[in-house]
Structure 1
Amino acid sequence: MVKFVVTTERRYWWTVKVRVPNADERRANQFEEFSFKVQFEDIGTEEADQILSEVNALPVEQRVTRQHDLLLRVVTNWDQDIVDEEGNAIPFDTPKLRALLDDGRFATGLWRAWGDSQRDEGGRRKN
C-alpha cells in the first residue's frame, strides 16, 4: 500500500472534455468533443467554500464577473492540447485562462472536471 504523504501543496492533472456544435454543415445538430488536461491545485474545503461564499454574497451584477474565481484559484496549468488556429500550443497563464472562461462551453467543461476530481468514485462500478 502506498503511504499518504502530507504536503503543503498538492497538484494533479485531470482530463477536461469540452463539447461544441460541429461547424461542418454535413454534421449539423452534432457535437464535437475536445479533450485536454489541466493541472488543479488541491485546496482545502474551507478555502473553496470561502471563495464560493464570497462570490455568492455579491450583488448579482457583480457576481457575473467573479463567477469563476474558484477555477481561477485551482487551475494552475494546462497541457499542449490547447492550441491556436494554426495549431500552436498556447502556454498557460491566468489572463488567458480568464479569457477562455468567457466561453461558456469551456467553462462548463472545467467546472465539470473539477467537480469530478473532487468526488471519490474509485469504488464505483460501471453497469
Structure 2
Amino acid sequence: MKFVLSKTNRYWWPVTVRLPDPDQPGKMLEQTLKILFEPKDQDDALAEQTRIAAIKDPRAQVLAEREALADVCKGWDDIVDDDKTAIPFTPENLMAALQKAWFRAAVYRAYGESLSGEEARLGN
C-alpha cells in the first residue's frame, strides 16, 4: 500500500477511562469511548507548547493545556449520560468532560499513544 500524504489527518482512536468504582472501595472501573483526533503538524504543536510554557499564571496555563487538547479532539462516540442517553459532541460538552481528571488523563494518554505509531493495546 502506498503512503498517502494528506493535508489533514483525522482518525478515530479508542480511549479507556479508569475511574474509582463507587461500589467497591479501592477498585477501578474501566469505561471506553472513541475520540476523533486531528493532530497538529509538528511546528504548530511546538509553537503551542512554547506559548503554554511561557504562561506564568498556573491557572491560565492549565486552561491553555486543556484548550490545546480540546483543539485536537474533533468528535466522540460511545458517551452517554446517567440515563444512557447519548451526549452529543460539542465544544462545551468536551470542555466539561475535560474538567474530570480521569477523562482528561485518558484522552491525553490515548492521544499520545495514537501519535507513537503503535496500534492501540487491548484495554488501552
The total of aligned residue pairs comes to 118
**Cα-Cα RMSD:** 1.2
SS in 2 for 1:17: strand
Check whether the contact 1:12–1:42 (CA below 8 A) recurs between aligned residues: no
1:113 aligns with 2:110: yes
Q: Which amino acid aligns with 1:42?
A: P
1:57 aligns with 2:54: yes
Check whether the contact 1:18–1:105 (CA below 8 A) recurs between aligned residues: yes
**How many angstroms apart in 2 are the aligned matches of 1:93 and 1:35?**
19
Q: Which consecutive aligned stretches of 4+ in structure 1 deviate over 3 angstroms post-superposition?
A: none
Deviation sequence 1:10-55 (CA, Å, 0-9, x none)? 100100011111011xx21100001111000032111111112111
1:82, CA displacement in angstroms? 0.6
Number of the residue aligned with 1:89: 86
Unpaired runs of 5+ residues, structure 2, are 120-124
Number of the residue aligned with 2:76: 78
Q: Which moved more, 1:54-63 or 1:94-103?
A: 54-63
SS in 1 for 2:45: helix
Using the size of structure 1 for normalisation, the TM-score is 0.87
**How many angstroms apart in 1 are the aligned matches of 2:39 and 2:48?**
14
Q: How does 1:1-127 map to 2 (within 5 A)?
A: 2-24=1-23, 27-59=24-56, 60-79=58-77, 81-121=78-118
Aligned-residue sequence identity (percent) comes to: 34
**How many angstroms apart in 2 are the aligned matches of 1:14 and 1:70?**
18
